[in-house]
Amino acid sequence: MSYLDFNIENKFSSQLPKDLEESIFPHQVHSAAFSWVTPKRTSNPQLIASSRDAAAMLGLSTEQLKSDEFLQLFTGNIVPEEFSPYAMCYGGHQFGHWAGQLGDGRAINLAEVNTPSYGHKVLQLKGAGPTPFSRTADGLAVLRSSVREFLCSEAMFHLGIPTTRALSLSLTGDSVVRDMFYNGNAKAELGAVVCRVSSSFMRFGSIELPAYRKDKALLKQLVDYSIKRDFPELLNEYADDPIQRYLAWFEEIAQRTCRLMVDWMRVGFVHGVMNTDNMSLIGETIDYGPYGWIDNFDLSWTPNTTDAQGKRYRFGKQGEISQWNLFQLANAIYPLIAESAPLETILNNYSKTYQQQWHAMMSNKLGITSEAINHKADTELFLALEILLGDIETDMTIFYRLLADFSYNEKVKENNFNHFADCFYLEEQLTIDHQSRFSLWLESYAHRIQQDGKTAEQRKAAMNKVNPKYVLRNYLAQQAIELAEQGDYSKLHELQKVLEKPYDEQIAFHHYSEKRPEWARNKAGCSMLSCSS
């Protein structure tokens, strides 16, 4: 076995300009897409979780996953010369303001490989040490954020949502000092490294930075590389028209971004920090920082303590923010197109496309057939439901699973509210008025599903394919973290197993589908999180 038999093909670092400064210290990197870096050696690495599914994608066997070579390689202790690790240079808008150069501050692209069945993949270590983009930080990561990244990226994949993957989660044996809530209470925590995998880690900010610096040559190189690497079909389709090729590339990014946002809304995921440097050009969920999953349905909820007042990145605003981010990307590629009208057309169509896809998604969640004849009435039904769910604390995930089992008829009309008892958090909120409005909505819904002519079994099967029973609830992740910090990884492994089949009943694991316990309402890590890692 030679370095796990990977077929190395370092296209990004061989086809794009490099930073001429070879020393690793914080500095501005101009006219370059990346800087060479070296992972920091770990003192006593220990593999505590891995994804066999992600490993199989890379052509790795179970035996290789368990090998010491794998452990040393994916904690940065072995760096084969042909791997040529690097950190990417990019900028971004953070909370609506241009932040200048950002870059991979704690991520190191270990190698690019050509996999047997899935094509080009980048292997990236998160928390492997300083880079020129670490600024004043150490480039390391702690166990709590690494557990969250590992579990959530794999959970998203099995939900059927585009995402970076997590191959492995390892302790480093070293401690890392962090101030979790930036309140002067810094402490030493367990250090960890996650190996994550994607076809591309390029972001909106990868294109923005050279545009803001008026470096048109690098801007063109990066866009051309993105097209060649991840959108190769556009090369033949627009072989003689580069401007149309750039527009088609931008439109495809907009389409992928739109589908991603609608998927997030479908399962109740809130990214928490949708800065343009955290938006993937290939439409994947990327950078699992202070994310959160909706327990009680609340369009105004954000999991990010930094966003607690402005709530820029709240649950219900993710579609709008994604369009704003696309506007920044459009501004960045304008020098390659020199005409604003076609870019504006794509951006203006985005809202319409989002509404269409949101409508189709809600139709699927409710188990009804989306038809033009019912479009307006269905939209009113969807919006009325959102108001109803948000008026009192109603668990979104549980509600939709119970709705799939809902059967309405005159004999049980007065008792149908009891069917949904398990999804309500506070009994005192269940006023007569709310129960009355809830029953009226159920009556409207019952009338609508009768129009489709589906059997109850058909509707339930269809709904349960899009409405998960299991999501990575914040309190579950926190429980796994607290046990892992004590050296007990049983909860981590069990959660990983459960989340691999999120739409299945899994009777033995039903307790993982229950609503958030009261003790977790305001507990750190269960309600809101900081960007600290």
The catalytic residue positions are 277
Determine phi and psi for 191, rounding to 5 degrees.
Answer: -85, 150
> Which class for 160: exposed (0-12), middle (13-18), buried (19 or more C-beta within 10 A)?
middle
CA–CA distance, 449 with 368 (Å, rounded to integer): 6
Residue with tokens 């930094």: 306
| Contact call for residues 366 and 403 (beta carbons, < 8 A) | yes
CA–CA distance, 67 with 486 (Å, rounded to integer): 24
Three-state SS annotation for 254-275 = HHHHHHHHHHHHHHCEECCCCC
**Half-sphere exposure of 430 toward its Cβ, with a 13 Å CA cutoff?**
12
| 3-state percent helix, strand, coil for the chain, nearest multiple of 5 | 50, 15, 35
| Contact call for residues 277 and 203 (beta carbons, < 8 A) | yes
AA letter at 200: S
DSSP label of 49:
E
The b-or-e profile of 434-452 (16+ CB within 10 A means b, else e) is beeebeebbeebeebbeee
Residue with tokens 């609608």: 262
Of 352, 342, 344, 204, nearest in space to 283 by CA: 204
Angle of CA points 17, 21, 24, to nearest 5°: 115
